[in-house]
Structure 1
Amino acid sequence: MTMNMKKYLSLLFIVPAVWSCTFAQDAAQKKFAGEITEELAKKHLTILASPEFEGRGTGQEGGRKTVDYVAKQFEEFGLIKPVNGSYFQPVSLVKSVYAVKDFSIAGQTFTYGKDFYVQGENTLQEYNVDEIVFIGYGIQDEKYNDLKDIDVTGKVVVFINEGEPKDASGNSIITGTDKDSEWTRSRLKRLQELMKKNPKLIIATSSQVATGLPRISARLSSGRYGLKKENTPKENNATPMVIATENMVDQILKAKKTTLADVKKGIAESKKPNSFVIKSKLKANMGNNQEDLHDPNVLGLLEGSDLKEEIVVIGGHWDHDGILPDGTIFPGADDNGTGTVAVIDLARAFSAAKKAGNGPRRSILFIAYAAEEKGLLGSNFYVENPIYPLENTVACINVDMIGRIDDKHLEGNHNYVHVIGTNKLSSELNPLVEKANKDYVGLELDGMYNDPNDPMRLYYRSDHYNFAKKGIPALFFFSGLHPHYHTPEDTVEKIDFPMMVKREHLIFHTAWDMVNRDNKLVVDIPDDGGVR
């Protein structure tokens, strides 16, 4: 037998073996993708978006129930507890709520959330003064200066925080034309310049305050959230700004027997500032109250085989807007109940594959992130405090809202998904997703949000981006925005479960490639640093 004949015969044995292996892998993918079903997705989401879970709010009872629920699923699937024998990675959060215990002027009490709200960082303190300085539009310009020869250091000041003085023809006194000056075009300029004068307290008014207050008043007690920082100063005496209705300021001006309308008219007629001192006693007790919170990320590890030191992260945030003091619940069925369910479903499918002898080569770290709605805080905390070295984390998949049909597709093709990040960091991401879709699913892959000129900039606005900032290739699966986004109407009956599950199947096949390919994804596209 010739050497060529031997080679030919050996190829006859090798080719069927390779084909058989490929066929077996293909069959396994299809089989275990089938573990992700509409029935199970609906079961989990109906629970997580139920009134019992109260919108899964950060620092709320509904949030505590949510993390327990996710951890219970991870335990049932047999995932490893990677955080010192626990599924929970407590995220060090600080909740700041601005509290107003008292606010009165000339003996008249004004109500926080009805007459005014406050933008401030100061710690709780008392204010007790005998006079208030009215400074017109608060503009300090060479051609028009409301603060000329006025010292407001340590004083309470009131000003009109919109527009600028105009003459009878409607021309700006500052520009001399019908074009507004930078004092109006810039939202912050007059406040920034005023702060340099070191007033004790600022009261600002505009025509929009009265209409905007009802919309935000219920949320004032919800507070702001951030990651806790070491060595944060205990005292903060920064100047607070009271955003007051025009009616409230008119009540203040009563002591001078005038109104905002009269003041504006006088300035327009004289083309000169009209600033003055009001002899009225102001008493207030207000400031930030801070509370430490430790809402956890929920982590479960499915260990890989020959490449188990390399990690692929599959995650989505579990939190939403919770319940307001008035009892209003934001169920967050789509945002991000669907993403949380997807993490559970994918963990179940990959765990079933491993139990059947088709486990991943790379390890998969499933994460349900805390406090995404508060500023991507849970994922930020993880990448700064990783349980597994980031240099071993080779890819990240983020699932955030995959259960609805967005406005763009409402009258057209519903068989779609937005895949965001395919043109970032790794040139292998796009062909990987396209192949998984072509071979197994058949969705329209909408890349509109990958356009660098897209104004939404969604690539930078969900949890995957904290991984991308560390140079880790990341994909974000998303079904788009809809009219019920961040409203109490984001409910389970509006979810398109067949499409939700089809999108989960695409994520499963994409992840299967990531965890089983011979080589990890290349990183060959420079990070743009979040700049278009």
Structure 2
Amino acid sequence: MILYSPPPALVALVQSSVKPVDLHNARLIGDKVITQENLRDYLTFIASDALQGRDTPSQGLDVAAQFIAFHLKRFGVKPGGDDGTYFQKIPMVKTGFDEAKSSLSLGEAPVRFGEGFAIDRGQGSATGELVVIASELGTTDVTGKVVLLGVQASDAASSQALAAGAVAVLRSSTNQTWWRRQAVQTNRRAFWRMERTPTPEPPAAAPVVTLSPEASAQFLESAGKSVAVSVVAKIERIYTQNVVGIVEGVDQKLKSEYVAIGAHYDHVGTGGRGTDTIFNGADDDGSGTVAILSIAEAAAKARSKRSLLFVWHTGEEKGMQGSGYFVDKPTVPLAQITAQLNIDMIGRSKPAGDTKPSNRDLSGPDAIYVIGTTMMSTELGKLILSTNANYLKLNYDPKYDAPDDPNRFFYRSDHYSYAKKGIPVCFWFDGVHEDYHQVGDEVSKIDFAKMEKITRTVFLTAINIANLTERPKVDKPLNR
């Protein structure tokens, strides 16, 4: 079989003859593609236990990224990440402690990490005679000594002892529950963050550790003995990723501009108490993740004048790290992004008769909070409202659509990273509920009928913006 490959000039000619979709046909495509069944299928995987809560970074998050990329390729959505892929790689770094190499001994007897001591801070080794300080340092000479502080010592006593010449500090404890928490938290205090600039090696610093109640009792009776302590810091590095796809516009002049549509596909991982320890994040933000996946599928069949840029942001739960990285190192020219539409939690509804205080501000089955319509662009705000009014007529609740909202929701999700760069934005949000950041945020509690309506409406909103003759003007200063 001889495969025919058309010349580039012919391909360009055919593409230039494609007309942008009108709103009527966009509705037909959206209603066919964006369905409760598809949303449920996608979300059942994204919010499954197999993905272990999609923490940033984690294997579960990486699997979610591959899942999204697989479907984008299936839909015919172009890669918009690095090097012709769907992934924008983001370097992450964590500075913690090497538990295996850190050590403590009393005389010749070693004390095991996690059983007898936990690390507070430091980098380096020290050996010295043990001096016990019950509460305040006073006039005790601690030069060249290892100081053991009693439980009555103030928080400032460690720094005071080191300033007075101590080579290391041991803190004692008597509460077993508190101690176990301290031991477990030693490396959890270290967290992954974006490595924007090279992280320097940890500087040398005197070791400070906390003893278990059993070790505290032993050391308190060992004044004058030799103590050796070593704290070894370590730097770990890994990559995570945003997922980026592009549906090219068909207008030869406007296709270089983009309407961005985003959601965060990460959640908070594991750690819940009881038998269920996985924070599945079905609503937060599994709902937004699969909503824009369905919008991408519909957009690939309903081409608009401008291009549509889809970004699944990582690390929103860690301080909007993925969206912050994208706007600082965009894979398309940032000045060419005309608007950003963010979906973060659209899957829950307040049941009729629900009087729980934790669900007080949860929106109903036909309602959703829209945030940003009044904040930056009058023109964009009017278009967002009119699209809804002319289609499914959802109750667009403006309760949080104000810079003086005490919850500051406008400033708490990924759209704000774009807003700070002068890009007009809008944010769809169902409201805080009883399962917000809880293990109960499960697929079984999602209102897929509501999700379907909101997703279809956001799709048409994006098409309307993408087909504008002129990009929406920013005519209001951004309040920060």
TM-score norm. by structure 2 comes to 0.78
User: Which of 33, 36, 43 lines up with 2:30 in the alignment?
Assistant: 33
The superposition leaves residues 404-425 of structure 1 with CA deviations (integer Å, 9 ceiling, x where unpaired) of: 2364457884432222233333
Say whether 1:312 aligns with 2:259: yes
1:292 aligns with 2:290: no
Map Cα deviations across residues 184-209 of structure 1 (whole Å, 9 max, x no partner): xxxx9998988877875556689999
Match of 2:317 in 1: 373
Which of the numbers 439, 455, 463 marks the counterpart of 1:504?
A: 455
- 1:332 maps to a residue whose letter is G
**Are positions 1:254 and 2:203 aligned together?**
no
Deviation at 1:74, TM superposition (A): 0.8
- The answer to whether 1:352 aligns with 2:298 is no
Q: Of the candidates 40, 43, 52, which is equivalent to residue 42 of structure 1?
A: 40
Paired residue for 1:394? 338
**What secondary structure sits across from 1:440 in the alignment?**
coil
Aligned to 1:233: 200
Q: Which residue of 1 aligns with 2:284?
A: 335
Equivalents in 2 of 1:428, 1:408: separation in Å?
33
User: Which range moved further: 98-107 or 334-343?
Assistant: 98-107
SS in 2 for 1:100: coil
For residues 465-490 of structure 1, the C-alpha deviation after alignment (integer angstroms, 9 at most, x for no partner) is 22122111122222222333333332
Q: Does 1:442 align with 2:393?
A: yes
Deviation at 1:41, TM superposition (A): 0.2
Select 2:184's aligned residue among 205, 217, 224: 217
Bigger Cα displacement from structure 2, 459-468 vs 34-43: 459-468
Structure 1 residue 506: Cα displacement: 2.8
| Contact 1:116/1:213 (<8 A) preserved | no
User: Structure 2 counterpart of 1:434, which letter?
Assistant: L
Give the unaligned 5+ runs of structure 2: 1-18, 351-357
Q: How far 1:341 moved relative to its partner?
A: 0.4
Give, in whole Å, the separation in 2 of the partners of 1:192 and 1:520.
57
Equivalent AA in structure 2 for residue 391 of structure 1: A
Q: Distance in 1 between matches of 2:184 and 2:376?
A: 42
How far the C-alpha of 1:38 sits from its partner, in A, is 0.4
Partners in 1 of 2:131 and 2:196 — Cα distance? Answer: 36
C-alpha distance in structure 2 between counterparts of 1:311 and 1:317, whole Å: 19
Q: Mark the CA change 1:462 to 1:239 in structure 2 (over 3 Å): closer, same or farther.
A: farther
Q: Is the 8 A contact 1:135 1:157 kept in 2?
A: no
1:364 Cα deviation (Å)?
A: 0.9
Q: Which residue of 2 aligns with 1:362?
A: 306
Contact 1:440/1:506 (CA < 8 Å) preserved in 2? yes
Cα offset for 1:155? 6.4
SS of equivalent residue, structure 2 residue 378: coil
**Which secondary structure state, in structure 1, belongs to the residue aligned with residue 52 of structure 2?**
helix
The 5 Å alignment of 1:123-272 reads 125-132=124-131, 134=133, 136=135, 146=136, 210=177, 214=181, 217=184, 220=187, 223-238=190-205, 242=209, 247=213, 251=217, 254-255=220-221
Query: Relative to 1, partners in 2 of residues 1:303 and 1:327: Cα closer, same or farther, differing over 3 Å?
Result: same
- Aligned match of 2:90: 91
Q: CA deviation at 1:498?
A: 1.3
For the residue of structure 1 that corresponds to 2:221, the secondary structure is helix
Q: Is the 8 A contact 1:335 1:400 kept in 2?
A: yes
Q: Give distance in 2, aligned partners of 1:301 and 1:198.
A: 61
Q: Distance in 2 between matches of 1:412 and 1:309?
A: 37
Rounded Cα–Cα distance in structure 2 between residues aligned with 1:158 and 1:453 = 50
Alignment equivalent of 2:246, drawn from 281, 296, 301: 301
Report the Cα offset of residue 454 of structure 1: 4.0
Residue 489 of structure 1 is matched in structure 2 by 440
Instruction: Write the distance in 2 (CA, Å) between the matches of 1:152 and 1:449.
Output: 57
Q: Is the 8 A contact 2:403 2:410 kept in 1?
A: no
Matching residue of 2:111: 109
2: CA distance between counterparts of 1:299 and 1:489?
A: 29
Q: Is the 8 A contact 1:88 1:297 kept in 2?
A: yes
Asked if structure 1 preserves the Cα contact closer than 8 Å seen for 2:367 and 2:395, the reply is yes
SS at match of 1:437: helix
- Report the CA distance shift for 1:304/1:232 in structure 2 as closer, same or farther (over 3 A): same
- State, as a whole percentage, how many aligned pairs show the same letter: 31
Q: CA deviation at 1:85?
A: 1.8
Q: Is the 8 A contact 2:249 2:306 kept in 1?
A: yes
Alpha-carbon shift at residue 310 of structure 1 (Å): 1.3
- Is the Cα contact below 8 Å between 2:126 and 2:207 reproduced in 1? no
Instruction: Kindly indicate whether the alpha-carbon contact (under 8 Å) linking 1:105 and 1:252 is maintained by their aligned counterparts in 2.
Output: no
Tell me, what secondary structure is at the counterpart of 2:266? coil
Amino acid at match of 1:352: K
Q: Distance in 1 between matches of 2:228 and 2:182?
A: 27
Match of 1:420 in 2: 371
Aligned to 1:174: none
- What amino acid is aligned across from residue 421 of structure 2 in structure 1? K
Counterpart among 51, 73, 77 of residue 75 in structure 1: 73
Q: Secondary structure at the match of 1:309?
A: coil
Computed over aligned residues only, the root mean square deviation of the Cα atoms, in angstroms, reads 3.9
Please report how far the alpha carbon of residue 395 of structure 1 lies from its aligned counterpart in structure 2 after TM superposition.
Answer: 1.3
Deviation track 1:220-264 (CA, whole Å, cap 9, x = no partner) reads 45941111243432243356664667x4796377338xxxxxxxx
3-state SS of 1:387 partner? coil
CA contact (8 A) 1:313 1:366 kept: yes
Please state whether the residue corresponding to 2:125 is helix, strand or coil: strand
How far apart, CA to CA, are the structure 1 residues paired with 2:290 and 2:465? 21
- Between the aligned partners of 1:198 and 1:126, the Cα distance in structure 2 is 15
Distance in 1 separating the partners of 2:41 and 2:347: 14
Moved more, 200-209 or 89-98: 200-209
Alpha-carbon separation, structure 2, partners of 1:207 and 1:475 = 52
Q: Which residue of 2 aligns with 1:185?
A: none
Letter matched to residue 284 of structure 2: D
> Which structure has the bigger radius of gyration?
1
- How has the CA–CA distance of structure 1 residues 115 and 472 changed in structure 2, closer, same or farther, with 3 Å as cutoff? farther
Residue 493 of structure 1 and its aligned partner are, at CA, apart by: 0.9
- 2:78–2:245 contact (8 Å) kept in structure 1: yes
Relative distance call for 1:409 and 1:130 in structure 2 (3 A) is same
Give the TM-score normalised by the residue count of structure 1: 0.71
The structure-2 alpha-carbon separation of the partners of 1:324 and 1:126, relative to structure 1 and needing over 3 Å to count, comes to farther
Q: Following TM superposition, by how much is the alpha carbon of 1:299 offset from its aligned partner in structure 2, in angstroms?
A: 0.9
Q: CA 1:73–1:105 in structure 2 vs 1: closer, same or farther (change >3 Å)?
A: same
